[in-house]
Amino acid sequence: MSKHLFIINDDGTKWTITGTRLEMNDNFIVDPLLYFETPAEDFYLFVKELVEGDNDVSYLKGVSPSSETDLLVTPLDSLSVHKARTRTKGKHILKQYCDFTLQFDFFEFNVLNNKLLDAGYIITDDNRESKYLEIINTGNTTLISILDKYLEVKDRISISVHNYENYQEFKNTVNEAINGAAVDAAFAAFTDLYN
């Protein structure tokens, strides 16, 4: 049996419906922080039409929406909607390159950095090359191995930071766009970075 889902976002006192999803997999687990499931197909289609139109659609927390009267619908100008949808598409691209493993990279970086600190090596941007050489010249294979891992994880974090900075620049450009063509151009430039 299919599941009619609203994709929701927590906006403090209310849930904003950012999209809809028809899920055909019976085993799909509906996370209540990401989705609201409605049993009524006609209500699902009604909300889908509102969300795909130029509307901000939400409902108060504590309400299980089942009819039009349960919804807070605010018509938006089409440029605002286009900007919001484009930012969302950009965020999905970013997520492909900055997945959840980034938090593990930060954790590993801190662990390795602490091991180097414990060994007496404080690495900064100003002294990093001399400290790297100092560690290598010790001949201590354990310490050199820690340094190798440290450098690898530092590179991964740098790539993620660079991707995030690209997204922030893209988002700012979209926010400042004065028409749909400028929004589309910003999205095309952003996607070109990853093709």
Spans of all domains in the chain: 3-76, 80-192
For 4-18, 37-51, 79-93, 143-157, which range has the lowest pLDDT when averaged over its residues?
79-93
**Residue 60's pLDDT is what?**
95
* 166 pLDDT above the threshold of 70: yes
The C-alpha atoms of residue 84 and residue 74 are separated, in whole angstroms, by 14
pTM of the full structure: 0.59
CB-based contact 2:27 (threshold 8 Å): no
The C-alpha atoms of residue 98 and residue 174 are separated, in whole angstroms, by 21
The C-alpha atoms of residue 90 and residue 186 are separated, in whole angstroms, by 10
The C-alpha atoms of residue 44 and residue 39 are separated, in whole angstroms, by 8
**Residue 71's pLDDT is what?**
96
* 114 pLDDT above the threshold of 90: yes
